Structure 1
Amino acid sequence: MVTTPHGAVRGRYEQGIAVFRGIPYAAPPFGPRRFRPPEPPEPWDGIRDAGAFGPTAPKPPYSEAFAQYLSDPVIPGDDCLNLNVWTPEPGPSARLPVLVWLHGGALTRGSSAVPVYDGRTFARDGVVCVSVNYRLGVEGYGLFPDAPPNPGLRDQLAALRWVHQNIAAFGGDPGNVTLCGQSAGAISAGALIAAPQTQGLIRRAVLQSGPPEVSERDKVRRMVRRMATRLRIPATAEAFATVDRDLLLRTQAEVGRLSSPVLGGPSFGIVVDGDLVPRDPLQALIDGEAAQGVDLLLGWTRDEYRLWLVPGGLLERVDRLGPVALAGAMARCHVGHEVPRGYRTLHPDAGIAEIVGQMVTDHLLRIPLHRLADARPGTSYLYEFAWPSRLPGLAACHALELGFVFDTGDVPESARLAGEGAPPELCTTMHAAWVRFAATGDPGWQAWDASHPVRIFDEGVPHTAYGPRDPELDLWSTAPTVPDPTPASDARAPGAELASAVRRLRRSVGARRR
């Protein structure tokens, strides 16, 4: 039993680890609190049972094509702003390092209840692990004229504050907190380490397959407006709050059907709000205006794009689209023919889908992470996860590294992506690097400098490569930037041809998804 300012909670010992699940860090975000910033939870009398995961945030299910690879449990209930704690030694005397986990899922899916994210392995190795649920989709990232932006990100800030105030009672050191996230969780972590309100709450950060970034406000507004049009309501928080929750989720899923990292399109995202996100977090971090003294562990998987394109046979379809797909990628990345030509020279045997996928991955992920590391040498560490899945076509795809980071490669949900026979020694090695980073700030390889050291996790013993992505990334430094694709209404304007290619690509891929 542990006492918090809101009441006592009782956890369970599981294999020698004390586990507390479903602890509320904020009040249920519904009723008058809907679309509003989080508020403290109501205190409770007696001892609250913390033996089971709490409710997950409202979210649509993954499509059938993605559900075969990704686990996403749904736990009903309104009290979805909750977190879980795994600790080897409850009590204020332990002062152990703390890792706070933010799940991915494009800010529309995912939860802390995914079995791959079992924090027992971190606690086993001396790190208190906290995993967090936060609002998703239109509930957490809709942009309305009558509600504050970024409530989902504000949920995460509330969870960090809860950790700072309470984690000592669970055996953690509030002065040694590592914020760790993957994909949308990494994007969130990047925004949070740049936020003025988190000063003193975060000592280190791990950004897996997601850079600090913000979305264009118009892009998020289009998502809300399209939902409003389908629902035949005004695009306001007040109107959205009257819609049946299941209908809202179905509408969100339908409107977002053609959005993806490769295709672009309207989507939910973190926006500059003048408060929690006062400016672009990547630029704030590069300029040295934020997160001074925060160590960074940054990385990606070798073949990120394959999770976006393999489900449903989209990889083969993009290959067949040929020039249309390539033009769409050029528009997505705002570059001309020079960049894809350079990729073709570097990778003469690659198909169109591979070139498109690697171009978009470099544009969205590797280039910004390199820029961030260049601005913070000596305190940044980079890695690439290159071990290929045993499943056909996935290779070293997005999210494949999660079972290795958590050392949960033996759970069935990890096998959905990795297949059977994932090497346990690689799980042990990669997990140990994350444990070491959370404890000391040094994962065990050379910090970033002018030689561009990148730790490669693959078959056999991990090794350090120097500038393994430099030939591709150098192509972008000399290529002229192409303006954003022009809206369809002006077919003669510069960029209209590329915009048309993007629309054709989305329609073609969307037809296959249906």
Structure 2
Amino acid sequence: MITTDTVRAPAGTVVGRRVGRVRRFLGIPYAEAPIGARRFAAPVRRGRFTEPYDASRQGATAQAVPLSATTTIPEPSVPGDDVLNLSVVAPVGAEHCPVLVWIHGGGFLAGSPASPWYDGRSFARDGVVTVTVGYRLGVDGFAPLDGVPANLGLRDMLLALDWVRENIAAFGGDPDRVTLAGQSAGGAAVLALLSSPAARGRFQRAASISGGFFEVARDTAHSFLERLGDRLGAPPTREGFSGFGVDRLQEAVRDLRGEEALVLGPVTDDDILPVSLAEGLAGHGLDVPLLLGATGDEFDGGVTADAAARSARAAGTRVTDILFRAACPRVARARRKAAAGTWLYSFEWPSPTTGGATHCIDIPFFYDVLDAPGVAAALGPRPPRELAARMHADLVGFVHGRQPPWAPATGEPGDTAREYGRPGAAPATDTTGGYDPVVPAAAEAY
């Protein structure tokens, strides 16, 4: 049975929906719409609602054009200008619950916080308030343009965290127990903010799922923007790109990037990221416990059982190893002085549909939403529920403040990594040497 649910928060009155023991407040704007003079500008805090805000449906998404016709994760595009919004899912009767703030992936170019894979109903069942954040993407969020503050997408996330700090208690969350988590570009954003002096104090724990050092060199970004300007017939400037709608820019970026992995993303040498992420991680966030890992095959699907491919993994020659897995020991080494600790995991369950432990398929396990739309298409008809129970329990325990039940990592040989779903093994097995601490030379560029 669906009923109306009203919260009176510092941001104003918010009207959502209650289904059973789960409360949902969707698409709440935390900033003014980034249009007109506010486009290509730092986000502006949303004023207090003067009338009750209807939070019964998903808010507008920054994604206007998906990266491809089909994506592993269902990623709906919702039209509208108020793309700087967030959604809250909370248990009925919640008081002082820990909070999971989720940053979606999509290569910093696409992705949607409205995905059914990010529904926090199982976290609510386990006493966690979930907040899913929308942020600016592509040129609007990550183009280093002259006269424009860099890293606008990260600035959006920081303002969303401020909103959580000020308002989440009204929804039953504890503003002093916030875990920042994300997957793919979202996981990379977690690492970026963990390394940032500007993010200090905004979250107390962090989880990076298939993230990495996804910072983009300014020269690389400027080169891509010049090519983008040539394609559009406009100068690669704020004024030039302002003449195009977000959908046209996203479409042009998608068509131009081809097989390039990273064309726009966080850049360094500003007040948000003054130094490289590796250097920043060595000096900031050392009081924040970090859980991080990757899937076994990420973008190298169909190889899990192949001996030659496993040798390639050991040699660190695959895209998976260069972009994702190599980052894990690098992060652990950068944080080796972190008293709060760093814990590694590896997701190894091979989907019968994708042929491997591929990118994104671990999310329904961590969220424990194996019945969500699109899961059967990605995971097959019978994904192991015991694996979802184990992975979800580990993440819930971490969000609740418990130390993971395996040894923390230092990035040196012999580190322990929790291994999820290796064929023939228990759902959660501790293995040593879970990641090769020798970073492939090609990975140093990322």
Residue 105 of structure 1: SS of its match in structure 2?
coil
Match for residue 322 of structure 2? 363
Kindly indicate whether the alpha-carbon contact (under 8 Å) linking 1:11 and 1:21 is maintained by their aligned counterparts in 2: yes
Q: Give TM-score scaled by structure 1 length.
A: 0.79
Tell me, yes or no, if the aligned pair for 2:64 and 2:246 is still in contact at 8 Å: no
Three-state SS of the structure 2 residue aligned to 1:246 is helix
Q: TM-score, normalised by structure 2?
A: 0.90
Report how far residue 72 of structure 1 moved.
1.3
Q: Is the 8 A contact 2:406 2:430 kept in 1?
A: yes
Query: Which letter does structure 2 place at the counterpart of 1:12?
Result: R
Distance 1:164 1:362, change over 3 A: same
Are positions 1:430 and 2:391 aligned together? yes
Alignment of 1:364-379 (within 5 A): 364-374=323-333, 375-376=335-336, 379=341
Give the SS at the match of 1:306. Answer: coil
Deviation at 1:367, TM superposition (A): 2.7
Residue 223 of structure 2 aligns with an amino acid whose one-letter code is R
Asked if residue 468 in structure 1 is aligned to residue 434 in structure 2, the reply is yes
Which amino acid in 2 is paired with 1:71?
A: P
Counterparts of 1:149 and 1:199 in 2: how far apart (Å)? 18
Q: 1:38 to 1:483 in 2, by over 3 A?
A: closer
1:13 matched to 2:7: no
Match of 1:454, as an amino acid? Answer: A
Counterpart of 2:164 in structure 1 is 163
- Which stretch of structure 1 is more off in the superposition, 378-387 or 448-457? 448-457
1-structure distance, mates of 2:144, 2:295? 31
1:240 and 1:117 map into 2 onto residues whose CA distance is: 32
Residue from 82, 85, 88 that aligns with 2:88: 85
Cα distance in 1 for partners of 2:266, 2:201 equals 22
Unaligned runs of 5+ in 1: 261-265, 316-346, 485-514
Give the Cα–Cα distance (whole angstroms) in 2 for the partners of residues 381 and 475 of structure 1. Answer: 18
Task: Give the conservation status (yes or no) of the 8 Å contact 1:90–1:170.
Answer: no
- For the structure 1 residues 357 and 112, does the alpha-carbon distance in structure 2 shift closer, same or farther, using more than 3 Å as the test? farther
User: In structure 2, what residue type is equivalent to 1:224?
Assistant: L
| Map 1:163-202 → 2, pairs under 5 A | 163-202=164-203
* Distance in 2 separating the partners of 1:135 and 1:125: 31
Distance 2:307 2:392 in 1: 35
Trace 1:475-494 onto structure 2 (pairs within 5 A): 476=440
Q: Which range moved further: 181-190 or 40-49?
A: 40-49
Output the CA distance in 2 between the equivalents of 1:305 and 1:28.
35
Match of 1:72 in 2: 75
The one-letter amino acid of 1:239's match is G
Pairs aligned (count): 430
Structure number with larger C-alpha Rg: 1
Taking a change above 3 Å as real, the CA distance of residues 53 and 483 of structure 1, as seen in their structure-2 partners, is closer
Matched, 1:349 2:315: no
Is the CA contact (8 Å cut-off) linking 2:316 and 2:326 kept in structure 1?
Answer: no
Q: Which amino acid aligns with 1:233?
A: A
Pair 357,293 (structure 1): closer, same or farther in 2 beyond 3 Å: closer
> After superposition, what is the alpha-carbon deviation per residue over 1:194-216, rounded to whole angstroms, capped at 9, x for unaligned?
21122111111001111244210
Q: What is the alpha-carbon distance in structure 2 between the residues aligned to residue 412 and residue 295 of structure 1?
A: 32
Q: 1:193 to 1:483 in 2, by over 3 A?
A: closer
Q: Secondary structure of 2:308's partner?
A: coil
1:126 aligned onto 2:127: yes
Cα separation, 2, equivalents of 1:238 and 1:149: 16
Change (3 A) 1:46 1:442: same
Counterpart in 2 of 1:223?
A: 224
Would you say the 8 A contact 1:12–1:19 is kept in 2?
Answer: yes
- Note the C-alpha offset of 1:220: 1.1
1:275 to 271, 278, 283: 271
Conserved 8 A contact 2:64-2:79 = no
Q: What's the counterpart of residue 456 of structure 1?
A: 419
1:267–1:90 CA distance, 2 compared to 1 (3 A): farther
Conserved? CA contact 1:190–1:282, under 8 Å: no
C-alpha separation in 2, matches of 1:348 and 1:16: 47
Q: Which amino acid aligns with 2:13?
A: A
1:145 matches 2:134: no
8 Å contact 1:59–1:108 — kept in the other structure? no
The residue that corresponds to 2:353 in the other structure is 391
The amino acid across from 1:443 in the alignment is P
Q: Secondary structure at the match of 1:440?
A: coil
Kept in 1, the 8 Å contact 2:98–2:128? The answer is yes
From 327, 332, 342, the equivalent of 1:380 is: 342
TM superposition shift of 1:188: 0.6
Gaps of 5+ in 2: 1-5
Structure 1 position 158, deviation (Å)? 0.6
Is 1:284 the counterpart of 2:289? The answer is: no
Q: Which amino acid is 2:23 matched to?
A: A
Q: Is residue 2:366 matched to residue 1:413?
A: no
What's the secondary structure of 1:130's corresponding residue?
strand
Contact 1:404 1:427 in 2 (8 A): yes
CA distance in 2, matches of 1:139, 1:269: 11
Distance 1:482 1:122 in 2: 35
Shift of 1:156: 0.5
The offset of 1:218, in angstroms, is 1.0
Report the residue type matching 2:219 in the other structure: D
3-state SS, counterpart of residue 326 of structure 2 = helix
Task: Please tell me whether the aligned partners of residues 102 and 186 of structure 1 are also in contact (alpha carbons under 8 angstroms).
Answer: yes
Q: Structure 1's 434 and 168: CA in aligned 2 closer, same or farther, altered over 3 A?
A: same
**1:36 alignment partner, SS class:** coil
Shift of 1:161: 0.7
Q: In 2 relative to 1, CA 351–100 (structure 1 residues): closer, same or farther, beyond 3 Å?
A: closer
- Kept in 1, the 8 Å contact 2:417–2:435? The answer is no
Shift of 1:461: 3.1
Aligned to 1:507: none
Can you list the C-alpha shifts for 1:25-51, whole angstroms capped at 9, x where unaligned?
101011110011100113332211111
2:294 corresponds in structure 1 to: 300
2:44 to 39, 46, 54: 39
